[in-house]
Amino acid sequence: QKKGIIFDLDGVIVDTAKYHFLAWKNLAESLDINFNKKQNEQLKGVSRIESLKKILTWGKKRISEKRFNELLHQKNEEYLVSVQKMDESEILPGVMKRLKMLKDVGHPIALGSASKNAKTILERVNLMPYFDVIVDGNEVSKAKPNPEVFLKAAQLLGVEPENAIVFEDALAGIEAANRAKMLSVGIGEKSILKDADFVFADFTEITDKHFNAILNASKA
């Protein structure tokens, strides 16, 4: 049975959360808003617009639409400076092995990310050749936990949702996969990703046996 494998980007393939954090922190400071790592956790998998809305809410700040758009631009420009410095060394441990294995076996691979910079990042880390399909923040209008991003990816991969497997680090992403009736594999903490069908701390924890079990599993 051919499975369609869908990967989230930030937190699954690369850790761009640290660069998002730096850019948001500088932006928040320029507005006299405190912003810490714990708050950054709540921005994982969340779109750029929604992230800024949250930061402004935390800082109890109201700004004009024009200023809002300027800040979005400012944040992204700073983020892109970090992205431009990325290379293969930033691919998270254990990921490469699984991408190669999936390619060898012939399971088609998609990216399902909220980021509008997804293609740039995949290019920087040289992973473009592995992805048959890319659905990112430029193509979807409804953010995770809405299943749109993953449903679109499965459709483009040519697999039914029940034959799709999603790797996600964000709670909202696991919820999106579950709503799409896809097998959800959480990468991160079990206590947070408790709704996932499988959870692993990272890809190095996924043994060949686990991986084969995932490929052969079906949604309960």
The residue ranges that bind ligand G16 (CB under 6 A) are 8-11, 20, 43-48, 51, 76, 113-117, 137, 170
In the DSSP assignment, the letter for residue 125 is T
Residue 10 among the catalytic residues: yes
Positions 170 through 199 that interact with Mg ion (CB under 5 A): 170
Q: Write the CA distances from 5 to 25, 46, 74, 83, 89, integer angstroms.
A: 34, 21, 34, 25, 23
In the complex, least distance from residue 111 CB atom to ligand G16, rounded to whole angstroms: 8
108 sits near Mg ion (criterion: CB under 5 A): no
| Residue of 8, 136, 148, 175 interacting with Mg ion (CB under 5 A) | 8
In the complex, least distance from residue 138 CB atom to ligand G16, rounded to whole angstroms: 8
b or e along 170-190 (b: 16 or more beta carbons within 10 Å of the residue's beta carbon)? bbbbbbbbbbbbbbbbbbbee
Residue 8 among the catalytic residues: yes
Q: How far from chain centre, in Å, is Cα 124? A: 16
| Residue of 45, 108, 137, 161 interacting with Mg ion (CB under 5 A) | 45
In the complex, least distance from residue 216 CB atom to ligand G16, rounded to whole angstroms: 26
Q: What are phi and psi of 76, to 5 degrees?
A: -65, -40
Positions 9 through 28 that interact with Mg ion (CB under 5 A): 10-11
| Closer CB to Mg ion, 148 or 169, in the complex | 169
Taking CB atoms, the residue at the shortest distance from Mg ion is 11
In the DSSP assignment, the letter for residue 92 is P
Peptide bond into 145 cis (omega under 30): yes
Point out the residues that are catalytic: 8, 10
